[in-house]
Each structure stands twice: as C-alpha cells, then as structure tokens.
Structure 1
Amino acid sequence: MLNKVMLSTESRMRGDMQVRFGGRYGKTYCRKAVRRSVPSLRLGKGGGIIELAAHLYATDHVPYLLERIAEQTPHVHPVSFSFGKQDSFGPSFQQLEIVPLSSPALLSYLQGRGINLELAKRECSEARYTHNGKRYFAIAFPNGSGGFEVRNPYFKGCIAPKEISHIRQSGKARTACYVFEGFMDYLSFLTLR
C-alpha cells in the first residue's frame, strides 16, 4: 500500500506525471498523453519505492529519498498493543444458530464457485449469528472439536474451537491421504470427483 500511496502522491506533487498501476512503475504516463493512453515515458524497470524515488528525484542519497517519501506519505499513528493489557471481549458470534444450509444467497455463492449444491447441503450447515448488533449468515463446515469454519462472499473465519478436520473415507482401506487448505477446496474436490 505504501508503494501505491507514494506513487499517487508523487504524481500529484510533481504535476507532470500521472501513474497507472500495473504491477511495475514502468507504466508512467504524461498527463497530456493520457487522453491517447500512449506512454510517454516507459522505464521497463521494476523495483521498490526507494528505486522509484531515486529515479524521480535523480539521486541515490537514501536519507534524502526517505525524507521526500515521508513528506508525501499519510501519517499512520501506531497503536500500542500488549497481550497483558487486552480487554476481555465477548464472543464474536452472538445468538448463534446452526441450521440446514438453505439461504438462497449462500447457495448462489456456492453455485458461482462451481460447487455441487446437494453435496454442499450434505457436508455443510448454515450459521446465523449476530455481530456488533447486526445479523449475518455464513456457510458452516464442522470440525472434530465442535467448532466450524465459516464462509460467505464477504467473510472467512471460524467459530471456536478451531481445529483441523479429519474426514475418513468410507469403504475399503485407502493408501492415499488428501490434504486441503480449506473446506471450499474440499467441496471442489468432491464436486469434481
């Protein structure tokens, strides 16, 4: 984010360049050429914020470059943190209900991800809960300790206790062990199988 902030404020400060973000700061456009979308200056180089500042200010003097970058960077005040001084928080998931998966929005989300809905209804539930006074719902995948991995299009988290899930394959003894990063990967695997 700092790189993007520096580029944006730098381009405004100098007034002679507008920067388009494309993964490399080599895509730099002159304001007059923006209408044509033709680059007037293309460096073809990558690098970090120091390299960009060195090019823009035509110096390799790092203390000077850091001062220029600091002048253009929004100030973020650090927050003091201590494990010993934490306030005790209530549970994040209040008024929690675990019900069969039926929300049209969640089913649409699963369908958009290519997950078989009957399979998802068999493997998952729906968590309905309140957080900071607002009602939410999410797909809930159970773990072996009574907790859930929860997911909706805007949130990915867990309901404690957190644990990895072990799912034994039914039928004859297996010689393979499948490992998945998350339950959506598991559901995708089952859908494709």
Structure 2
Amino acid sequence: MKFRTKEEYQKAKSVDLVQLLAKEGHQPVSIRKNGGQYWYLSPFRDKERTPSFKVERGKNGYMWYDFGPGKGGNVIEFVKEYKSKYDLNDIIDYLEPYFDTDTSNIIKAIPFHIDRESGITIESVKPLQHPALIQYLSSRKIPKRIATMELTPLNTNQIAPYQVGQKPVAKRSIVSEVNYMLHQNEKMYFALGFENDKGGFEIRNKYAKLGSSPKYFTTFKGKDHTTIEIFEGFFDFMSAIVMSKQDHLPNDVLVLNSISFIPDTIDFIQSQNYRTIITWLDTKANDARKQFSSLTYQIDHRHSLYADYVDLNEWLVNQ
C-alpha cells in the first residue's frame, strides 16, 4: 500500500472543487454572493432540471452540499461519492493533478438576464420539461404540445438576443422553462416563462405571478395578416388555441401581458394593415375595451362567449 503524507492529504483537501467539476464537464448554472457560491445540476444524478448542488469556499477549503440526498462535505468526500470504488489512495491519486491548478481563471456562469428593477435574475431559459410545470399547465387545461408550439413574432428584429452577441431567433416556443432567482432572498425557483417582444418575461407557476423587465406585449404571426386577435394574458391565448383544435394560428396575435399596454397596442395596430380586431379580454375589462373604440377597424369583442367566468381560461377549465 502506498503511504500518503500529511502534506499530500492537506493538498488534496485544498483542491479547487469548482475547477475539478469544470474538468469533469460540470459548469455552474448560477453563481451567487459575489462569486462565492456555485450552484450546479447535481453531478450525482442524470436529467436533473433544477440546480440542487452547491459549492462554496470556506475557511478550510471548498465544501459541497447536495440537497437531493442531503449529503455534503469537503473535496475528498466529494471524490469518494463521485468515484464510489476509490479508496483514499485512489482519491489522492485522482486529485494530485489539481494540486497546483491555477484557480484565477475560473469561467463563471453568465445569467440569462439580471433585472435590478424587478429584483429578478433569470438564470437560464430552456425547453419545457419539469413535471411540476407540465402538471400546472394540465390543471389549466393546456397540453404541453400547445404550450411548446414554436411561433414567429411579428417583428423578429425586436426580439432580444438570448446572449450578448447572438443573433435573434426567428421562432420561439409559446412558453419555456425558466430558472430564476429573487434578489431579496437569493433563492432559486423554476417557472413557466412567456417572453415578450423586448426580451422580458411573464413568470408563472402554481405559487408565483411575476414579471421581469423590460415589460411589453408579445406578438405572433398567423396565416391571415388582415386580422389580429388580442388577449390579455398568455393562458387565454393558449386556451384559444386549444378551443380552435388547430395546429396553427389563423390570425396574427398580440398578448398584452398587461392592459397598461393598450395604448402601445393601438399604436402598433395603426402602423399595420389590419381590417379586423378581435379581443378576448377579461369579462370585467370594460374600460380596457373602450380604449379600442377610437379605432375605425371592424372590432369584435368576444367576452360574451365566456360571460359567466372571469376569463377565457377559466371558462376552458370549467368545460
């Protein structure tokens, strides 16, 4: 058996776990507390969607904690868990190449968007997969295949790039899965994300109804560009697709995200060649509907179809 010195053990214990994880192909999903805390999808589990593995530097070196099984420890204990068949000699052999690693150039994860105004950081945006979010959609009678339809915004030049330097994409899913952090408590959450035409998000899950800046309305292209349908929120929009039983949009669509955007919406409509406007606003949004009365287009308010309910989605849920 190979004899290990106390110095070798201390060097192994002091290895930079962030660098070690990077070499193994694990990059942090987010970095918090001024670069002192790293969050990962757990290296011990496949197909994890929400980061649950934390690494931070303490007085005695790097420490980790996996919130899944509720286990943690130092770097040596990480390797013991990561390489389950290794004994102490194997562990130190494995860590030895990292004894003199330069830790000054750690590549930090770049958040998708930091919104100081709303106190929300969008850490990542990805295709919808989380079972809890799919179940939440189901409770609102929206199938996943509808929520993940890929549609084209009316003005692709207005879409905010996903990362600095990237070109805007032509299409996007109606909703995505977002991981976000609230600045007030530095906790990570996941939710449905509905992107607007300026790159902000409406954020929804069973417990949260939030929005990140910049706030704006959302548009999508339909087959007929002479008619535009206006919805108050994206659940009403998806409800209309469910009702139509079609796999495409018959008309152009604008989702307000807030009735405060009606003046901007009217400016947008007047800049286009529409002949007909269809609105699907909440049943009690009479003042909002009146704002469209100044337009000379043919206007069809559809709220009478779900008059006994708050909005179109509530009507759908109760069918």
Task: Considering fraction of residues, name the structure with more helix.
Answer: 1
Task: Considering fraction of residues, name the structure with more strand.
Answer: 2
